[in-house]
Structure formats: structure tokens, C-alpha cells
Structure 1
Amino acid sequence: MITNFLRLEQDLLKKSLLVLVSLMVVVFVWVSYQQTVLTNMYQITYFYQLLLPTLLMAGLCGALLAQSGVVVQTSLGNAFASPSTIGISAGALLGAMVINLVIDEPTIWQVWIAAFVFALVIAMLILLLSQVIGGGKLQLILIGMAMSLAVGALSSAIMIYAEQRMDGLFLWGSGNIGQSDDQLVFTILLPALLLLALPILCNRQLDMLSLGDDTANVVGLSVRRWRAILLFIAVLQASLVTAMVGVLGFVGLMAPHIARMLGFNKTRQQLICASLFGALLVVIAELFSRSLPVSGFRLPTGVLTVLLGIPFFLYLLSRKKGAMAMQESGFGLAALIKLPKSIALVLPACFLVVTAMIFWPDALGFQFNAWRMAVAVMAGMGLGMAGCALQALFRNPMASPDISGATSASVLFIIGALQIWPDASRVDLFFWALVGAAIVVCILFIVMRYQLRVSQLALLGIAISAWCGTIASMVLTFGAGAASVTVLWLTGTTYGADAQIGWLLLAVTLPCCFALLMLSRHLDLFTLGEDWGVRLGQPLMKLRLFIILLVVLLTAAAVAAVGAIAFVGLLSPHILRLLGQTRHWVLLLGSALVGAWLLLLADGLGRTLIAPFEIASGILVSIIGGLYFICLILLGYRRK
């Protein structure tokens, strides 16, 4: 036994040395190369005062994110959790933008404090909501994505309405490690080292939490207290990185898994190995970003980390252990009140009529505003039905059209079209949105042939959305001439709606909605689980593909008409379920009415609150969605 233990320790030591040597070799080779081309004082100054501090900053950021990922995954017992997937990075970015909006040229400490506060609040909301919905591992990731969308919409709103104050923050938000001097590095060096030491000092508590809550309680660990302390440390680490360089996605997910793949099972070993690999990943990404300029610009380091992390995420998803770690769970959303089906359908219709009367246009702008209202109603109907169908298909109340990846793909193709043809019409954008959605359908059709579970399918949609979002950020960064107009349109608005786009939206939305209604009985069976469908002889593969095709068409049409609007497809089915409805023909019709009401209400408020200026509908819907989540948490605790 002692011999086996010594061999194990020797193997771990060899692996640790291998990781350290790899990191040193990469940096040494690069430094040696730079030394050979230093021929004058200017280049020497550049090397020692800019390049080396930047590499040191990259190493510190990678190590902090890696340790934050280890702490989050161990504390929550969720292998897919990371600062990027549970809203920490998105909240920290919002906090950094808010402090830059309030204070002129804030210090790094002020930015860090604001980033930490916002990240902590968002992360706590996500964790609480996941417990109210059902507490599953998949729910946590999907809720993290949904809240990240809401927070991202608020960040976009700040960049749009304070464009001059936020100048340069768009590129920084994509993860830009390039430093102007070495002052920032030495300012944060001591706090960064202290934060790297804290999780290592708490390795015993992390080891106990890795055994499960019941075992940890048996051995005398205060699970709630230590989980809160450890998550507090993880948020401190991730928010410091965001305050310094912006968002570096997927580093906190990749590095801990690499450490486990190498056989490091103890938490202290994982923390040390993950720190080294996290530093190595970010340093390599930074070196590549300097070596591979695109159109005269260098890629942000955060873009490269995401592009590197997506294939790794898909690899984890394809593994057998990864599939087992994300078991599906049924709906965990309990009804608050029971209403008859007729009343549940009449109420949204009444709200729709009242909203239309309140924001009914005046005589001068009747034709223009009437088409805006019609487009808002049809887009809301399509998104509401699409969200209801996806929640039944994935058997998860946090699913939405964004989960399939169709929204992100449509947005990406529209951004590309606007960069090439700035004067493209809505019809052209509609075509490109359908092309992006069709590509997603092809990808889903290919992976469905491998009999993926619906949880894996949902996480695949998250990966597609993250990849498309990263490419979209990169395109906007390099296309600065049309960036502000494109970002404004991408927040979601009915401005510019006319008869042409209205008739096109009508031609796509009505047939797809009717087809989904015809499949309502099949959706009822999907919520019972795949085993029931197999026993009843249902062609699950064909049905699933056809439903996703209808959802993609509805989503692409809505994106091309009103832009990227989140939460309509998520909130509409929720409201019907809170009213006690379970049959899908009621849920589909009610979701269509609620979705139309939400988008019409947001459009009317956006046009009247600060008239003659206008607030984008997508921003108001995101605010409504965030408030709804908070109310859902409060109602859940009151129910308990």
C-alpha cells in the first residue's frame, strides 16, 4: 500500500513538473525569439515595459480564472459550472461598465469593487432561482445562460446610450489583455497572489464538499457556510480578472477538466495544476492574438479563448460521464393559482387589446405605427410558441429559442450582411437570418443521428450560441464604422417595420404556429419522457427534428423583423404554467398571446417613456425578464 501511494505521488509530481516545464518552455521560446530581434532602445523598452508585463498579466488572469472554476465546480458539484456559465463574468462586466458610467476614469479598485458586487448579486440570483425551479445541474447552466442574456442586454444598452463615455469598452469587454505600461500589473500583483493562495488554504473543505453534502455534514463540515465562503472567493477572483482585462470565456471550464484528466484527484493538486494550465492557455491565446492580426487589427484574447473553449466544451459533452452528469429532470415550476382554460386564454387577449388601446397611434402616424404594432404582435406570437415548444422538447422550464442556437446564428449572419451591405433591406436580412438558422438545423440533424439526449442537445445549443456570439463580437470590433448602428438594431426594436416585412413575417409565422398546434398532443407526450414515446410507437427522431425546424423558422423570422429579443420565448410559457395550465394546446395558444402582449407592451413603453427618444424593445423585455426572475425567487421562498 505504501509502495502504491509513493508511486501515485511520483506520478503526480512528474505531471506537475511536466505542466510547469511546458509553461516555461513556451514563455522561454517566445522571450528568446524577442531577444534576437531587439536591435535598438525602442524595441528593448517595448519588450521589458509592455510585452513582459502583458504576459505576466495573462498568466495571472489565467490562473485566477482556473482556480475560480475549480472552486465553483467543486462547491456546486457541477462539472459544467464556471464563471462564464453561472453569470459571474457577465455580472462583473456590467458592474465595470456601470462604474465607468458613474465615475470619470475610475481606479482599478473602484472597478473591481463594482464588478464584484454585481457579479455576486447575479450569481446569487442564479443559484436561488435554480433551487426554486428544481435544483438540477442542467437547470443551473440554462438559468445562467438566460440571466447572462439579460445582463448582456443591459450592458449593450449602456454602451448605446452612453456611447461617448463607453468609447473603447466594447473591445475591452471582449477580453483585451494588452497593457499600456507595467503599472497595472504591479498594482494588482499582491491581491492576485493572495487570492490564488486562499483556495489552496481551504483545500480540506473543498475535498469534503467534493464528497457530497451528506458526507460533508457527517464529518462535521458546515456545508452552507463553507459553500458561501468559497463561492465568495471564486467571485472575487473572476471579478478581478474582468476588472483588469474584460471577459475571458471558458478558461475556468477548461483548466479544471484538464487537471482531472491528468489524474489530479485531490483539490489542492487540482488547484495548482489548473492554475498552471489556465495561465498557459491565456498566455498562448495572447501570443497568438499578437501574431495573427486580422485586417490590421489584433484579435482580442477573449475571442481566442472562447474559440478554443467551444471544441473542448463539445468534447466534454460527448463523453459518457458528461452525458450522465446532465440528466434531464421534469418541470419544477409549480402553479401559483388554478384558472380554467377559457379564462387563461381570455386574460392575455384582454391585456393585448388594452395595451393596443393605450398605445394606439395618432392619426398622423397611423399607418407607420400600425405596422409596428402588427410586427410586434406577430413576432411575439412566434417567439412565445417557439419557447413553449422547446420547453416541452427539452423537458426544462428554462429552455428558450436561444438554447437551440438559432437566434445567435441568425444574428451572426445578419451582422455579417450589415457589415458588407450597410444598406441591406429587411427582406435581405430576413433571407440571411434564415440561412443562419438553416445551418443550425443541419448541425442538429447531424448530431441527432447519434441519439443524443435532450440535455446534451440543450448544451450543444449553448455552445453554438457562445461561438456565434464570439464571432459576432469580433465582427463588430473590426467593423467599427457600422458598429453603433448594428448594436442598436441587435438590442431588438420594431423601428422601421413596414408592410413588406409585415407580410413576410405573417407568411412564416402563421403556418408554423398552426403546425405546432397540430403537434400539441405529441408535445404532451414529450413532457412525460422519452420512454413513454418509445412505448407508444412515436417517431421521436422525426418529431424532434420537425419541431426544431418549426422553432428555427419562427425564431429566424422574428430576429429578422425585430432583432435579437430575449426572454419572450422564456416568460410566455412560464406565465401560463403559473396559472395552472398543463395541456399544450392551451400552453401554445396562451404563450402566443402572452408573447404578443409582452412585445407590444415593451414597444409601446419604449416609444412613450422618454419621447421623443426611444428605448429599444429588447432592453425593456430584458428588464421585465430580470424582474420576473426576482419575483419568481421570492414566490418560491414564500411557497416553501
Structure 2
Amino acid sequence: MFILESVNSFYEGVKKTALVLFLLILLVTVSLTVGPAGIDLNLLNGLPFLQQPVDHAMASEIVTWLLLPRTLMALLCGAALGAAGVLIQGATRNPFASPATLGVNSGAMLAVVLGTVLLPELTDQYPVVVAFAGAALTTLLVFRLATAISDSPVNLVLIGMAITLSLGALSAGILMFFENRLEGLYTWGAGNLAQFNYQAINSSWPIFTLMILFATLLARRLDLIELGREQAESLGVNVRRTVGLSLVIALLLSATVVSQVGMISFIGLIAPHIARGLGYRSAWKRLLAASLTGALLLLGADVLARTIPFLMSEAHYSIPAGAMTTVVGAPFMIFLLSQRKRISNLARAPGETGIRALFQVSPAKVLWVLLSLMLVAFYFSLFSGLDQSWIDLRWPRVLTAAFAGAALAVSGLVLQTLMRNPLASPDVSGLTTTGVLFVVLGSVMMPGLERLDLLMLSMLGSGFALLVLMALSRMTGFNPQLFALAGLCLSAVSATLISVVMVLGSNQSSEVLVWLSGSTYAASRELVYLLSFGVLILIPMFMLMWRKLDILQLGAFWPSLLGIKVKASVYLLMLLVALLSATSVATVGGISFIGLMAPHICRVSGMSSHRHLIPATAMTGALLLVLSDWLSRSLMAPFEIPSGLLVSGAGGVYFILLLLSGKYVQSR
């Protein structure tokens, strides 16, 4: 009976492997007939879609020097990322871990970008070494911070994705500041598989092959580690050494991929799950299956990235393959979060979540202090070093920053109250980024839209994101960590789709890029009037509902007992949040983390009633963004850093410190 079961299992494994290989061969064939950069290539005679005779000498050159190296690079990088994903998930015993979600890729990319600016000769000669150094430092930082907080696998990924956002903001700022010296790195950063010779392949395949072979030698020990640390050590496994070697191999694989083709996200997350879903339980089988699956996924993404522009009659554009993998990978991660059986051992839903106060101060004193600080910030931002003629140009910008900061801050406060989740905010939850996506789509597809049109598009995007997150929250038991993780995934999808839209609408991409980063540079009097009108109507509406907000933060039972219609109140407040955050997005673009930081700063002073929290949070948000706008103009004068990038970098650090400090608390 045992022999029969073994034969059947082997037969099933052979069938699944044969299917993956068949699909891989089919995709390779298709890849060699889909030309990049607008080349309409029909290599096979007699096909129904053959339009005209093809010069076979030219076709042979195209296949040899463009399509074949690109296809081989996709296969190699996909296999490397699939293997890296298995190693990282096995070493951390975390199904959410991957080179993308732990900040490995973003650390490697930042190292390459910095190396290109500071040490161009070294980076050009040894790109893998530079990328590996960045990936290793980032991974070490992620694990140190996560270990200091708790052993929760979800916290590990939260830290990784927060660092990814901060490093991504820093990389974007460097790319914008050194635009001439880093020409082409923006497309490369999104994962560009275009190859024009075999140099990258010849330098990469020995590393990939050697590392995957080394990984198979660790497979048996990784199987034992899955049983638990104590059990593995009792069976003679040096857990510390095995985990360290597995992570080093995964880092080398990921860093090599980043150094050659840029950021390829989520292949390392999806491929191991598909391999496990195909029935491969042992680590060495998963390693090989994930390598094949990763190669299949990345090549398929690249073929799709080349096909979409051709179908849209925009064949002279090229969508980075890394963008396509994120579009597929982030929804896949959200799907994993929706599976309660998968997440039940990762995080339990808290009974109550909040921010612990550092000290108790009279709310009136806090409000007066905030008002005084805001007036001082206004004074320096408006009058420092300028005469009257320049002040007339600057005041719309300062007021725009103040109103936008207040809008984002109050939106974050209300979201945190309704979700009973201090990790919720318009930006961390994906509302801002999705609103930006809808605005970019409208701006590129229909140039010349008015601000009111942008406001409507932004509201639609924020509302759509809100519906997705609320549905997912119900599935995951309203767990705050998983809510934040889902929001970060939604932000990743939206940010990637924005990159795709910018590639297809490159005529407007330079203007859109600055706006995406979050800037008050283009502020005008009309913009101030529009923004102030929305903010001065919506924030007082929240003030009128402060008693309901105080009661709603107690949960569902007590508000119902006190006669409050919970669902109707929540839906109304959510609608107002979408309107308020959309108003900010339509005027200043993508500003991150203001909605997360401002409510916390007010709560640590001991405020609990929304009668005080709403005005205090509004002033804090205004103060933060006005100061960020002032710093963005002053730090590298006469050059200017988009204030959104400055806030994103600082906000990512704050997000980590929030988890690290223990001020974010859960009681069960």
C-alpha cells in the first residue's frame, strides 16, 4: 500500500512538473515572436495574423540580440527570485516573507542608485557587490527591528514594507535630483528586462546556478526548521547557521537580479506558494518547483508587458516587467490575507487597540501650544529672507500645505477611531495612492482636466480603496496589523499602475512625477480657494459628530445600546473621510504618513475626546506639512525636494518607531 501511494505521488508530481515545463516552453516560443519597443515580428510563415513578408535576416538579428537574451534573462531572474522566496520563507517560517516584502529589493536598488552617484566606476564594475551590500544592510535592519518588537511574522513584514516605502522615497528623490546623471534608472528601477547583448546573462547565470545548488544542500535542514526551533535543534540542526546561510544565499540571488534588471517584486512571494499548492512539501522539491514557476511567472509578465502597448497601438512604449509582477503579486498577497486559515497562526484579532499616552496635559494648553507653533511656522515659512513681492507668490503655497495637512490628519484620525486601529490612515491604508492613481489616469488619458474633475476622480479612487479594505477587514476579523499590511499592498498596486500609466503617457510623465511625489509647487490662489472650501466644510461636519466618534470608538455593542445607528454612522463618516482625503490628493498629490503621525502626536498628550482631538489633529497636520514644505525648499536651496518625499522618508521611520516603542498597544 505504501509503495502504491509513493508511485501515485511520484506520478502526480511528474504530471505537474511536465505541465509547468510545457507552459514554460510555450511561453519561450511566444516570447521569441513578440518584439520589444514596437517591432512587429512575425517569424512563422502560414500564421493567420501574418501581415506581410518579413526580412528573415533582420528577424534573425532581432531574435539573436534582442529577444533571446531578454527571454533568457527573464528565465534566470524568475528562477532566482523563486528560489530566494523559498529560502526566506523557510528561514523565517513566514508565508508573507519575500525579497520584496522584507525590503531586500529596495535596499539593493538604493545602494545601486547611490553607488551610481557617488562611486560610478565601482558600481559599473561590481554592481552585484554594491547591490548585495544594500540588501544585506536593509535585511539586517529589518530583522533587528522586528526582533526588538516581537516574534510576530506579520510585524516582520510590516517593518519590511515600511522600510521599503522610506527607501523608495529616498531613491525617488535621488533620481529626481540627479535626473541627468541617472537617466534611464527610473525605468530600470521598475524592473526592465531589455537586453542588447549577453554580457549580463554571462555574468549572472554562474551566480544563480551556484547559489541554487548550495540552497538544495540546506533543504533538509529547512524541512526540520519548519517543525520548530527546539525540535530542529534536538535533531542536530544548527538553526542559527542554517537560517544565516539561507538568508545570505537569498540576498545574493535577489541582489544579483536587482543589479542587472532592477526591481522585480512579488515573484519571490507567489512562486513558493504555487509550488506548495502543487503538492511539493519537501524544501528541495519546493525550491526546484518555485524556480521553474518563478521563471514562468516573470517571462509571462514580460510577454504581457510587451503585448499590452502593442494592443493599445502604443507599441513604441515599453512597460517594465517589474510593474506587471506587482500588479499580479500584491492582489495575490491580499488574497492570502483574506484566507483566515492561513493567517490564524500569524495574528489574532485584538479586542481593543490604541496609543498609550506619554503624559497628561490640559487639552486647552495643548491647543494653545499647537496654535502658537503653527503661527511661528507660518511666519518663518512666509517671511524668512523675502521681500513683499516674493511673499505674494509664496502665501498660496503655504496655505495649500496647511489645509492639505489638516485634511489628511483629520482623515487619519477618523479612520483610526472607526477601525479602532492606530495603524490606519489614508496613505498607509492605500486611500491616498488609489486616489492618485485615478487622477493620473484621468490626467494622462484626458489632458486639460479642471481641478473639480480631478477632485471627482480622486474621490472615486479613495472610495474604491475604502470598499476593498472594509471588505477585507471583515474577512480578517478587523486585525489592525493585517489591515495595515493590506493597505500597503493596495498602495503597491496603485503605485505600480501609476508607473505603467506614466510609461504609456510619457508626454505628461515629467509633470506627473513631481505631482505624484506630493508638492505644493504649483499652488495658486484658485487652488487655495478650492481646497479651503472643502476643508472648512468637511472638518466642521466631523466636529458636529464628535460625540458619536467618542462612542463609536468603544466598539459595536455600546453605541447600539445607546441608540446610535452604527452602520449608518460609519458609512457616513467613511464617505466624509473619502471626500476629505480626495480633496487633498486633487490639490497637492501624494503626501504620505501625515494622517498616521498627526493623530498619534495628539493622543500621546492624553487627549481622548474628539471635541479636542479634531482641532488639535488638524493643527498638527497643518504644522507638519507647512514645516515639510519649508524644509523641502531650504535643505538643498536653490534646488527643491518635493515635500511628499520628505514626509514619506520621515513617516516610514516613524511607523517603525511606533511599533518599536510599545506605544502601539493591544489588549485582548
TM-score, length-scaled by structure 1: 0.88
Match of 1:464 among 485, 490, 501: 490
Residue 226 (structure 1) shift = 4.2
Question: 1:107-118, aligned counterparts within 5 Å?
Answer: 110-118=126-134
- The within-5 A match list for 1:79-94 is 79-94=95-110
Q: Is the 8 A contact 2:104 2:138 kept in 1?
A: yes
* 1:257 and 2:282 are equivalent in the alignment: no
1:511-530 correspondence to structure 2 within 5 Å:
511-517=537-543
* Aligned residue in 1 for 2:528: 502
1:316 lines up with 2:359 in the alignment = no
**Cα deviation, residue 62, structure 1:** 0.7
Cross-structure match for 1:387: 412
Q: Return the offset for 1:276.
A: 0.8
**Offset at residue 259 of structure 1 (A):** 1.1
The residue that corresponds to 1:398 in the other structure is 423
Indicate the residue corresponding to 1:23 in structure 2.
Answer: 24
| Distance in 2 between residues matched to 1:423 and 1:224, nearest whole Å | 59
Q: Specify the alignment match of 2:372 in structure 1.
A: 350
Closer, same or farther in 2 for the Cα pair 1:333/1:86, shift >3 Å?
farther
Distance 2:563 2:97 in 1: 37
> Does the alignment pair 1:238 with 2:254?
yes
CA deviation after TM superposition for structure 1 residue 491, in Å:
1.3
Residues 355 and 601 of structure 1 are in contact (CA less than 8 Å); yes or no, is this contact kept in structure 2?
Answer: yes
Q: How many angstroms does 1:277 deviate by?
A: 0.5
Between stretches 563-572 and 96-105, larger displacement belongs to: 96-105
Looking at structure 2, the residues matched to 535 and 201 of structure 1 have their Cα atoms a distance apart, in angstroms, of: 62
Q: Which residue of 1 aligns with 2:478?
A: 454
**1:303 counterpart letter in structure 2:** A
Q: Distance in 2 between matches of 1:232 and 1:541?
A: 50
Q: 1:359 to 1:584 in 2, by over 3 A?
A: same
1:594 aligns with 2:620: yes
Task: Report the counterpart of residue 490 of structure 1 in structure 2.
Answer: 516
Structure 1 window deviating more from structure 2 (599-608 vs 577-586): it is 577-586
The one-letter code sitting in structure 2 at the alignment partner of 1:454 is F
The corresponding residue for 1:570 is: 596
Question: After the TM superposition, which of the residue ranges 214-223 and 313-322 deviates more from structure 2?
Answer: 214-223
Is the deviation greater in 293-302 or in 13-22? 13-22
CA distance in 2, matches of 1:6, 1:67: 27
Aligned pairs for 1:168-567 within 5 A: 168-216=184-232, 219=235, 221=237, 223=239, 226-292=242-308, 293=310, 294=312, 295-296=314-315, 297-322=317-342, 324=344, 325=346, 327-329=348-350, 331=353, 335-337=357-359, 339-361=361-383, 362-420=387-445, 423-441=448-466, 443=468, 447=471, 453-455=477-479, 458-517=484-543, 540-567=566-593
Rounded to whole Å, the distance in 2 between the matches of 1:532 and 1:229 is: 53
Distance 1:158 1:536 in 2: 54
- Distance in 2, matches of 1:29 and 1:619, equals 40
Cα distance in 2, alignment partners of residues 29 and 606 from structure 1: 48
Deviation of 1:566 after TM superposition, in Å, equals 1.0
448 and 95 in structure 1: CA distance in 2 versus 1, 3 angstrom threshold? closer
Q: How has the CA–CA distance of structure 1 residues 269 and 141 changed in structure 2, closer, same or farther, with 3 Å as cutoff? A: same
Q: Which moved more, 1:340-349 or 1:589-598?
A: 340-349
Q: Deviations over 1:95-147 (max 9, x none)?
A: 22222222446656533233233333334444444455555444444444333
After superposition, give the CA deviation of every residue in 1:178-222 in whole Å (9 maximum; x if it has no partner): 101011101111111122223322223322332344544555655
Paired amino acid for 1:572: A
Do 2:371 and 2:619's aligned partners in 1 also have CA atoms closer than 8 Å?
yes
Superposed displacement of residue 241, structure 1: 1.2
- Please say which of residues 466-475 and 589-598 is displaced more in the overlay: 589-598
- Give the Cα separation in 2 of the matches to 1:12 and 1:535: 57
Looking at structure 2, the residues matched to 75 and 390 of structure 1 have their Cα atoms a distance apart, in angstroms, of: 36
Conservation of the 8 A alpha-carbon contact between 2:591 and 2:644? yes
| Aligned-pair CA distance for 1:504 | 2.2
Q: Distance in 1 between matches of 2:99 and 2:552?
A: 32
Once the 2 structures are TM-superposed, how far is the Cα of residue 444 of structure 1 from its aligned partner? 5.5
What amino acid does structure 2 have at the position aligned with 1:557? Answer: T
Q: Return the letter of the residue paired with 1:355.
A: A
Out of 404-413 and 461-470, give the one that drifted further. Answer: 461-470
Partner Cα distance (2:431, 2:531) in 1: 17
> What code does the residue aligned with 2:381 have?
F
Cα RMSD of the aligned pairs, angstroms, is 3.5
Residue 364 of structure 1 aligns to a residue in which SS?
helix
Find the counterpart in structure 2 of residue 607 from structure 1.
633
Aligned AA for 1:560? A
Partner of 2:590: helix, strand, or coil? coil
Deviation, 1:177, is: 0.7
**Structure 2 stretches lacking a partner, 5+ long:** 35-41, 46-53, 664-668
CA distance in structure 2 between the aligned counterparts of 1:152 and 1:74, rounded to whole angstroms:
26
In 2, Cα distance between equivalents of 1:440 and 1:404 = 8
Unaligned segments of structure 1, at least 5 residues = none
Letter in 2 for 1:409: T
Distance of aligned partners of 1:461 and 1:542 in 2 relative to their CA distance in 1, 3 Å threshold? farther
* Contact 1:351–1:597 (Cα < 8 Å) also in 2: yes
Contact kept? 2:190, 2:263, Cα under 8 Å: yes
- How far, CA to CA, are the matches of 1:418 and 1:276 in structure 2? 40
| Farther-moved stretch of structure 1 (597-606 vs 623-632) | 623-632
2:170 aligned residue (154, 159, 184): 154
Larger displacement relative to structure 2 (126-135 or 25-34): 25-34
Change (3 A) 1:107 1:39: farther
Residue matched to 2:37: none
For residues 538 and 226 of structure 1, the distance between their equivalents in structure 2, rounded to whole angstroms, comes to 56
Three-state SS of the structure 1 residue aligned to 2:388 is coil
Output the CA distance in 2 between the equivalents of 1:486 and 1:494.
13
**Cα shift at 1:46:** 2.9
Are the aligned partners of 2:628 and 2:643 in contact in 1 as well (CA < 8 Å)? yes
Describe the SS at the equivalent of 2:389.
coil
In 1, the alpha carbon distance for the partners of 2:463 and 2:513 equals: 23
Name the CA distance, whole Å, in 2 between partners of 1:582 and 1:16.
58
- SS at the partner of 2:529? helix
Cα 1:489–1:211 shift into 2, 3 Å? same
1:348-403 Cα offsets, whole Å, 9 max, x none, are: 33332222232232422334322322221121112122223333444444332124
| 2:267–2:297 Cα contact (<8 Å) kept | yes
CA contact (8 A) 1:64 1:241 kept: yes
Matched residue SS, 1:159: helix
State the aligned residue count.
636
Displacement after TM superposition at 1:485 (Å): 1.9
Most deviating of 142-151 and 491-500: 142-151
Q: Is the 8 A contact 2:423 2:484 kept in 1?
A: no
